[in-house]
Amino acid sequence: MTFSFTGNDNLQINLPAPLPMGILDSLMVDYEGAPNSTGFGSFETTIHAGVPLMWTLSEPYGAKVWWPCKQDLNDKIDSIDVLVTTPMPYRAASNGVLVEEAVSGNTVRYHWRHRYPIPAYLIAFAVTDYATFSDYVYLPDGDSIEILNYVFHPDLIQGQNELSSTVEIMELYNDLFGIYPFADEKYGHAQFGWGGGMEHQTMSFMGGFSYGLQAHELAHQWFGDKVTCGSWEDIWLNEGFATYLTGLTSLYLGTPQEWESWKTNNLNNIISQPDGSVWVDDTTSVGRIFSGRLSYKKGAYVLHMLRWQLGDDAFYQGIQNYLNDPALAYGYARTPDLQQHLEASSGQDLEVFFDQWFYGEGYPSYHAIWEPTSNGIRIQLDQTTSDPSIAFFQMPVPVRVNASGLDTILRLDHQFSGQVFEIELPDQPLSLEVDPEKWLISGNNTVEMAAVGTEVWSEMGLHVVLAPNPVSSHLQVYARSSDQAFSLKIYDLVGRLMYE
Task: Report the amino acid identity of residue 150.
Answer: Y
Residue 360 has phi, psi (to 5 degrees) of -75, 170
Give the integer Cα–Cα distance in Å for 194 and 87: 23
Residue 322's SS3 state is helix
Read off the pLDDT band of 487 (50, 70, 90).
confident
Read off the pLDDT band of 261 (50, 70, 90).
very high
Residue 476: pLDDT over 70: no
Read off the pLDDT band of 361 (50, 70, 90).
very high
Residue 440: pLDDT over 60: yes
pLDDT: is 8 or 51 the higher one? 51
C-alpha distances in Å from residue 17, one per residue of 13, 14, 20, 250, 292: 12, 9, 9, 60, 49
pLDDT of residue 217: 98
> How many residues are recorded in the chain?
500
Residue 309: pLDDT over 60: yes
Residue 301: pLDDT over 80: yes
Residue 323: in which H helix or E strand, if any?
A: helix 312-324
Query: Exposed, middle or buried by CB within 10 Å (0-12, 13-18, 19+), for 253?
Result: middle
pLDDT of residue 211: 98
Give the integer Cα–Cα distance in Å for 240 and 177: 15
Averaged pLDDT for residues 383-387: 97
Are residues 126 and 190 in contact, defined by beta-carbon separation less than 8 angstroms? yes
Read off the pLDDT band of 500 (50, 70, 90).
confident
pLDDT of residue 456: 58
Query: Exposed, middle or buried by CB within 10 Å (0-12, 13-18, 19+), for 156?
Result: middle
> What are 309-313's contacts with CB under 8 Å, separation 24+?
309/348, 309/353, 309/395, 309/396, 310/342, 310/345, 310/346, 310/348, 311/346
Residue 84: pLDDT over 70: yes
Averaged pLDDT for residues 103-121: 98
Residue 198: pLDDT over 80: yes
pLDDT: is 296 or 429 the higher one? 296
Residue 202: pLDDT over 70: yes
Name residue 113's beta-bridge partners: 81, 97
Are residues 342 and 306 in contact, defined by beta-carbon separation less than 8 angstroms? yes
DSSP code at position 386: S
Average model confidence (pLDDT) across the chain: 93
Residues whose CB falls within 8 Å of the CB of residue 229, separated by 6 or more in sequence, listed in order: 73, 235, 236, 237, 238, 332, 333, 334
Read off the pLDDT band of 469 (50, 70, 90).
low
DSSP code at position 446: E
Averaged pLDDT for residues 149-155: 97
